Structure 1
């Protein structure tokens, strides 16, 4: 058995609620990863499921797994064809003034010896669009925001939040700073919808994590 919750299951797909702090791939330095759970996630199938997309190690919530190579190919095509709807909840480390909006800022990956690699806003970067809606003003000057990325760039929501609001996500050590109130970057993949021509959509919702609820986001 695995202690990872399964949010959706059929013959070609699983959607799991990935815990915060669990990397999808084994870190170079070793340690726990999703790979430790794939045998248990077979759930009676011969093949171990494979992650279709990526979530940052700190990010919790909906992660799509393919149960066979044909499904993996189909789901990869669905992401490329923008047939996948992803919804995230994030806690911004400051006040967000407007109620909703869209962020259209191209992103580029850079690396330096001092800071390692990170994403930056750059004209020469890849097009990146995130739609957002303010959900609640929380105590301590924090803001709960729903993010709906139209594109899927690495660290997209994290960089877009910092540039659009002037505040990074709470606890983000790369684009903001660590915060004693939390133990991670506060981002949660709350819902996932994958369109499948000729078949019912894959739909899943991940419950709000405890660390979000403790800050009044529930």
Structure 2
């Protein structure tokens, strides 16, 4: 990773404009991407806002990650297919499977598996993440849609942006919410100190609109099974929002309480349960439900037994 250090010599209107003027070897879009990904620090703090104004004396550190290889290898990894036709594929992703290659996970990802399953996929939606229109965290299980054509990719992206695609999750959280349902409307951005995490961040600091609707499915003593519906799709959105209101997802290694629930979980107890979208060609509604994984079911059974004998 290459680090570049700058000190502002004159007031500037926009962060990205200043950097593009100073770093002529990088395009403005590349600079904006580095800012959004949390690779730029302003006065020692990660800054993900490209529009922030700079002042004389401000110190900037920009880190450029090593280039990732563009050649992705097809790998024969089993896929749990929930729906498939010529345009799209909907899978039930297991825990532990990374969606697309990234530093630390160059292979063994869902993308590598897709390249083996769909030979015509490369070039759809970008080199490193072909066909991926939305993602699931490594240890989040459940339904994920893959575009198999350019038309499907554009159509599915438009549905996500227009909020007409419906993504429903089930999650077990610590504690017992006082109300039966609610909406969490708090902007999310890169954590100012820990780049592996997201956090509730004010819009002027780079936080982006994030809205999560929730309702209680089942009360389980000091735990609760909650149905979540995403209105937006920010990274770690449900996990960050749940933690922020004091009810983190059980088993969450980043945002959880660290308490053991007595069940061996592969990660956070969060499952992308149901996905509803419009077919890109026929425009028919497709509704797919991903079976709840065994570890999630075991967790619910254990918690129900505890409630029954308490």
- Deviation of 1:95 after TM superposition, in Å, equals 2.0
Displaced runs of 4+ in structure 1, greater than 3 A? 45-49, 177-180
Q: Specify which of 161, 173, 178 is matched with residue 97 of structure 1.
A: 178
Instruction: Give unpaired runs (5+ residues) of structure 2.
Output: 1-75, 123-129, 305-310
Which structure is richer in relative contact order (CA contacts within 8 A, separation 6 or more)?
A: 1
**Counterparts of 2:103 and 2:201, CA distance in 1:** 29
Are 2:91 and 1:10 equivalent residues in the alignment?
A: no
- Deviation of 1:203 after TM superposition, in Å, equals 1.8
**Counterparts of 1:183 and 1:21, CA distance in 2:** 7
Find the residue that maps to 2:156 and give its secondary structure: helix
**Counterparts of 1:196 and 1:47, CA distance in 2:** 18
Q: Which residue of 2 aligns with 1:131?
A: 213
- Paired residues for 1:1-218 under 5 Å: 3-30=78-105, 32-42=108-118, 46-47=120-121, 50-112=131-193, 115-124=194-203, 125-138=207-220, 141-164=222-245, 166-180=246-260, 181=263, 182-196=265-279, 199-216=283-300
- Deviation of 1:91 after TM superposition, in Å, equals 0.7
RMSD: 2.2
- Answer whether contact 2:114 2:121 (CA < 8 A) is retained: no
Larger radius of gyration: 2
- Answer whether contact 2:121 2:131 (CA < 8 A) is retained: no
Instruction: Give unpaired runs (5+ residues) of structure 1.
Output: none
**How many corresponding residue pairs?**
212
- Deviation of 1:51 after TM superposition, in Å, equals 1.8
- Deviation of 1:107 after TM superposition, in Å, equals 1.5
- Deviation of 1:32 after TM superposition, in Å, equals 2.2
**For each residue in 1:36-58, what CA deviation from the matched residue of structure 2 results, as whole angstroms up to 9, or x when unmatched?**
3114432xx74467221111111
Decide which structure has greater helix share. 2
Residues 108/28 of structure 1: CA separation in 2 closer, same or farther (3 Å cut): closer
**Counterparts of 2:200 and 2:217, CA distance in 1:** 25
